[in-house]
Amino acid sequence: MDVIKVEKRNEQAKANQLRRSGLVPCCVYGGDLPESISIQMDQQTANRLFHTKREGSQVGLELDGRVIPAQIKEKKKMMSGQVEHFGFQALSANKKVNSITHIFLKNTELVPSTLEQMLFEVPFASLPADMIDTVTVDLDGMPAGTTLTVKDIPEFQSGKIELQIDADSMVLRIVDKKRAVEEAA
């Protein structure tokens, strides 16, 4: 888990003032925290975090000498491309948390037919230790006619993860190009 250095935010400073001074306003809530905490991080750290982590990713927030385990619940960018805000949910080791797993496809160029991906994220609940950030599906060798559902992915077969979507939901299918043209017509 990556650890990001943050500091408490000056409640008197407006969000736009913080951004002009090179800081990004954030908040962390939930878990064992008695109340939400307004925090800030420098723009460079926020940019790196925005491009390397996704919503649902776990991070450690180093605040006043202690590390708060958290997951990214929300990340926003402005039209200018500048990071606007991060929302973090503190994690408690013994409490289940709702999250999402992102599905990535590997070897898409090897699929000889038409590939249709229906799901890009899978919502679930688990203890923080069992959270899954991403799942990669290797398409090498998958023939036309293949249908892959959530329950077909090994990472989701663990009893430690409660799916918040029907296990029979279709993730992808590989359709023969000739059949795909006929269906379109």
At 137-178, the pLDDT tens digits run 999 988 889 999 999 999 998 889 999 999 999 999 999 866
| Contact of 61 with 88, CB cutoff 8 Å | yes
Of 36, 63, 90, the residue at which a domain comes to its end is 90
- The whole-number pLDDT of residue 113 equals 87
Is 112 in the same domain as 46?
no
Is 155 in the same domain as 119?
yes
> Which residues, in sequence order, are bridge partners of residue 168?
none
Indicate the SS3 state at residue 167. coil
| Contact of 93 with 129, CB cutoff 8 Å | yes
- The whole-number pLDDT of residue 98 equals 93
* Domain containing residue 36: 2-90
Is 73 in the same domain as 131?
no
DSSP secondary structure letter of residue 130 = G
- The whole-number pLDDT of residue 178 equals 63
Is 110 in the same domain as 162?
yes
What is the rounded CA–CA span in Å between residue 51 and residue 25? Answer: 17
| Contact of 38 with 11, CB cutoff 8 Å | yes
> How many CB atoms are located within 10 Å of the residue 125 CB?
14
The pLDDT of 63-71, averaged and rounded, is 94
Percentage helix, strand, coil for the chain under 3-state DSSP, each rounded to 5: 20, 45, 35
Is 62 in the same domain as 127?
no
Highest mean pLDDT among 1-5, 39-43, 111-115: 39-43
Of 58, 90, 122, the residue at which a domain comes to its end is 90
Is 49 in the same domain as 104?
no
Query: Is the pLDDT confidence value at 179 over 60?
Result: no
Indicate the SS3 state at residue 17. helix
Confidence class for position 185, pLDDT limits 50, 70, 90: low
pLDDT digits (tens, 9 = 90+) for 78-121: 888 889 999 999 999 899 999 999 999 999 998 888 999 999 99
